[in-house]
Structure 1
Amino acid sequence: MSIEPAVPNPPTGGVRAQEESTRTAPLLFGQTMSFVAGTAVLFTVGAYAGRGLNGVAGIVAFVGAFIALIAMNATSTRSRNGTIALLGAVGLLLGLALAPTLAYYASVNPDAVWHAGGATALFIAGFGAYGYATSRDLAPLARVSSWALLALLVFGIVIIFVNLPGADVLFSVIGLAIFAVYTAWDFQRLRRSSDVDSAPLLAASIFLDILNVFTFFLSLFTGGRD
């Protein structure tokens, strides 16, 4: 997954805007991370419930999650509760979509799953802290990363049909580099935003960062791309 839900732009200038951002920052951070945690719980529930699903059911669940993400952008300015409900649906559906893959690796190489989880926690904590603390505007890097992600997706399609030595490792390493930028940028948006209602969309972005980073690490620790 690499969708970045639209989030209202943070305040760009003025003492009042900066004071508003400072006042709401702790509340927004707390709400956003609570939503991330709740989405992760629902993802876990979906991954457990769907461990016996077949590939077709996983694809259907993935498409459903994609639709829910798009719907979040549409409902964000109309219904906060509706957006939160859709965020929960995203977590649950993505859990169902990835359940067969996670169940497989948990049965044949459980250490890789634990290692990927630990590496993901350190990765998100490190780059998230940097993005939250830095005064450098990361938006230009995020725009470059969007093009890099598109190129990576094309590369991923190519290596399905062309056997290139080391391509799987290269794919994952580049993916981690791209999502290092996305993670830092999303946490910078979290710090700069003064709109508490943006918490569900920010949570969706951060959760997708976490999920993508986890899958890239899992690919590295298992020796091949999922």
Structure 2
Amino acid sequence: MNYNDFENEIYKNEKKEMTYEKLEQIVASKVLGSIFWMIAGLLVTGTVGFFVIGGFYSGAIRPEIISPLILGALIVEFIVVVAFSAMTFTAKVGTLRVMFIVYSALNGITLSMLGVIYTGSSIIFAFLGTVVLFIVLGLYGYFTKEDLTKYGTMLKAGLIALIAMGIINIFFISEQLAWVSSILGVVIFIIYTAYDINRIKNNVIAYAIEEDMTILDRIEIHGALSLYLDFVNLFIYILRIIGKKK
């Protein structure tokens, strides 16, 4: 046994206690950091969407360019998300943050038409309902002792089923299928909210214990994108269920 091993053995109880407290601080900091960036992304999305809707109603944005604008934003969104995922562990953290904000802005363009389709009160109620569900499930995901990452395969299967239902409904245009898929979407993204918070927490713990502190900021911003997508999708599916169209 070398000196370091001997020292660790003699002082292991005190070191564990100190490490545990430090670990709690790091985990809380990074999870809150993910939530902070998620909120920043939502603010960017809401701001861009507000100006797009305002431009549409004021005539500054002509109706004939709305469809090409949204299609272009969707294509660039896809490229940004793919690039973000591919560069998560290689790009600078600052670059990932910029990509996240760019994605949020593009999403503001694609989601702006919700303000044209649905009434303002419906959007507000759906948003408030999403906030409440997100907070409750987020707290559960953070404080539960259960490792929710074991449900990842089931959630992915549910997400694939949800996408398949959406594609089928493009051709059949069934209100019943749309209703079922909306309910399924709410259930899936409610669970995803707790799952992603729990996953961020567990990832931070894993890398903090290994003292790989350089990757924690990457986990934080990657987690922010996951939570942002959970929130936006949950909001959309709730809006589809309770929303009143103009």
User: Shared fold (TM-score greater than 0.5)?
Assistant: yes
The root-mean-square deviation of aligned C-alpha atoms, in Å, is 2.1
In structure 2, distance between residues paired with 1:102 and 1:86: 25
| Aligned-partner residue type, residue 241 of structure 2 | L
Q: 2:123 is matched by which residue type in structure 1? A: V
Please tell me whether residue 205 in structure 1 is matched to residue 207 in structure 2: no
Give me the whole-angstrom Cα distance separating, in 2, the residues matched to 1:164 and 1:116.
23
Q: Which has the higher helix share?
A: 2
2:3: which partner in 1? none
Unaligned stretches of 5+ in structure 2? 1-15, 205-215
Q: Does the 8 Å contact 1:29/1:191 carry over to 2?
A: yes
Task: State the shift of 1:69 in Å.
Answer: 1.5
* Alignment TM-score, normalising by the size of structure 2: 0.77
Cα 1:72/1:164, change in 2 over 3 Å: closer
**Alignment partner of 2:112: what SS?**
helix
Give, in angstroms, the shift of residue 165 of structure 1: 5.3
Q: Structure 1 residue 136: deviation in Å? A: 1.4
Task: Trace 1:33-182 onto structure 2 (pairs within 5 A).
Answer: 33-51=35-53, 52=56, 54-77=66-89, 78-105=91-118, 109-164=119-174, 166-182=176-192
2:242 matched to 1:221? yes
**What letter matches 1:69 in structure 2?**
V
Identity over aligned residues, as a percent?
20
Contact 2:93 2:217 in 1 (8 A): no
Deviating above 3 A after TM superposition, structure 1's stretches of 4 or more consecutive aligned residues are: 18-21
- CA distance in 1 between counterparts of 2:86 and 2:180 reads 36
Change (3 A) 1:98 1:164: closer
Alpha-carbon distance in 1 for matches of 2:219, 2:83? 14
Is there any run of 5+ residues in structure 1 with no aligned partner, and where? Answer: 1-14
**1:205, distance to aligned residue in structure 2 (A):** 0.3
Shift of 1:164: 4.0
| Deviation for aligned residue 1:64 | 1.3
Q: Scaled by the length of structure 1, what TM-score is found?
A: 0.83
Q: Separation in 2 of the partners of 1:30 and 1:163?
A: 41
Which amino acid in structure 1 is aligned with residue 49 of structure 2? A
**Matched pairs, number:** 206
User: How many angstroms apart in 2 are the aligned matches of 1:204 and 1:189?
Assistant: 13
User: Does the CA contact (< 8 Å) of 2:73 and 2:109 recur in 1?
Assistant: yes
C-alpha distance after superposition, 1:120-168 (max 9, x if no partner): 0111111111111112121232211111111111112222322545222
